[in-house]
Amino acid sequence: MSEAPTGQARTRRKRYEEIAEHLELLIYSGRLSVGDKIASERELMVRFGVGRSTVREALFALQRKGLLSARPGAAARIAKPTAQTLISDLSGAARHLLSEPGGIRHLQHARALFEIGVAREVALNGADDDLPALTQALEANRWAIEDQAAFEHTDLMFHYTLAMIAHNPIYTSLNHALNEWLAEQRSVSARAGTSREEVHSQHRAIHDAVIRRDPIGAQEAMEAHLASVYRNYWKAVEAVPLGLPITGQRSQA
């Protein structure tokens, strides 16, 4: 059995968080700007009265948030976080929530609200020049119907293309994160009853509504598609005896 953390370890952990929060405040207040060099480890050790390991933990926390860039042999500099970095910082918490009772259902609901909203927005505001990309993604999905792995990839790309057409980096980052967080659910759903032809038909309904600039039709088509995906997932989960893996089932397509 591992030993409980000592008071010293708890104090150091709390201290590095305080230092990271202090530096983060300097960044967001404008006292430190993108491209500025941050003080050296030695200077930070003296300023905060802590050891090197505590300073390094604080700097690493800022790196994870995309607020600090560091290269070997060069001074660390303040960086501008990307939407992808900010979303990635939530991954640990999201995976923890998925392990909780009801976690997958909660995330499925969040994904549905997001994807339905994206479909509606693209139907309303997507640029004419961008819409051919959605048609290309749909055609790639059709050509992949005979290949399960290729079909799953083109499925992801169809949804990603929708998010990309909206020209909002938060949307594409959320799309990527949701795909990672719900990877197992996607794998199970792909093997759990709905044929690839039917999934492609659902994608076509979304595509056609977007192309004809029908926001209500687009959101209804996306809602129907995701309802089918979720229904098949829970049908597969409930059909498997408790404790057995469900990701190795044969495709029923």
Express each pLDDT in 72-89 by its tens digit. Answer: 667 788 887 665 665 566
Shortest CA distance to 120 belongs to which of 27, 190, 217, 47? Answer: 217
Do 146 and 33 lie in one domain? The reply is no
Q: Which pTM was predicted?
A: 0.64
Q: What percent of the chain has pLDDT over 70?
A: 75
In SS3 terms, 125-164 reads as: HCCHHHHHHHHHHHHHHHHCCCCHHHHHHHHHHHHHHHHH
Structure tokens at 85: 């970095």
- The Cα–Cα gap between 219 and 119 comes to 6
Do 184 and 220 lie in one domain? The reply is yes
When divided into structural domains, the chain yields a total of 2
Do 234 and 158 lie in one domain? The reply is yes
Q: Residue 22's domain is classified under what CATH number?
A: 1.10.10.10
b/e string for 26-57 if b means 16 or more Cβ within 10 A? ebeeeebeeeeebeeeeebbeebebeeebbeb
Do 101 and 169 lie in one domain? The reply is yes
Dihedral of CA atoms 58, 63, 69, 72 in degrees, nearest 10, equals 70
The domain in which residue 194 lies consists of 88-239
Do 177 and 92 lie in one domain? The reply is yes
Report if residue 252 sits inside a domain: no
Helix (H/G/I), strand (E/B), else coil: 103: helix
Do 129 and 151 lie in one domain? The reply is yes
Per-residue pLDDT, averaged over 159-180, amounts to 90
- Model pLDDT for residues 25-72, shown as the tens digit of each residue: 888 788 888 888 888 889 999 999 998 888 888 888 888 777 888 776
Q: How far is CA 80 from CA 40, 68, 100, 158, 173, in A?
A: 20, 8, 33, 29, 16
Q: In this structure, are residues 187 and 247 in contact, taking their beta carbons and an 8 Å threshold?
A: yes
Per-residue pLDDT, averaged over 171-191, amounts to 77
